[in-house]
Structure 1
Amino acid sequence: MYAVGENFEYIIEDEEYDISVIGDIVMFGDEYLIGENIDGKRYVFIYIEDEERVKLVEEEDEASDILDNWEEEYYAGGTDIGDWDDDSYYEREDKITTGSGDTEEYFEDEDYSESEEDVDSFISGLMGD
């Protein structure tokens, strides 16, 4: 079966499409793939295990139900892990404590590059020169 992120070609209504797998879901005891063409149109495919191939779910109501369930459960309903309200990890990277209990100062370091001299000095120190 195809994994999320893989592509495959499929002929739909006598036209060949390059389909990107954007998700999968198991429903009704069957495994379905959610695919998207380059124009962003989504398709639902059923994985036929015995033949190790996929087949387009052509019945619109069935495909729509499967797509809705997938979107609700996996795609649209989730939270972005980086946007959690109580996630203080990202806050810690952006601020420094200035000493007094609840006073914090935000800072930006404009130059993250290291000079060649610093690197050479570091390497020399490691080598024992």
Structure 2
Amino acid sequence: MSAIVTPFPVSRGVTPQIGFDRVELMRILDLYGRMVAAGFWRDYAIDLGREAAIFSAFRRATERPEYRIEKRPELRNRQGMWSLVSEAGAVLRRGHELNSVLAPVERKLLKLVEE
């Protein structure tokens, strides 16, 4: 018995939704989990749109996000499709690699150890 696959109809002229792939989302959620364990963050939101995919991390659910991690593929060939945006809306870091963009947040997890 052979399976027949019927393609889903796609409207022409409609741009597809931007999203995070599995590796990107695992990397972001790994950082989120460590920030929750350290007591910095308590909530998150994911916004998937036609121009960007945005992961927002909140200290409290009733506030503005402390950081937004944005993926904008149209900027891939210029300054990079990844950006880290602060609570005030200032772009803290842009780049082509997700790990380098997340570096300022990773530094918050480092603690000084006394000798």
Q: TM-score if structure 2 supplies the norm length?
A: 0.27
Higher relative contact order (CA 8 A, sep 6+): 2
Larger Rg: 1
Pick the structure with more strand per residue. 1
Q: TM-score if structure 1 supplies the norm length?
A: 0.25
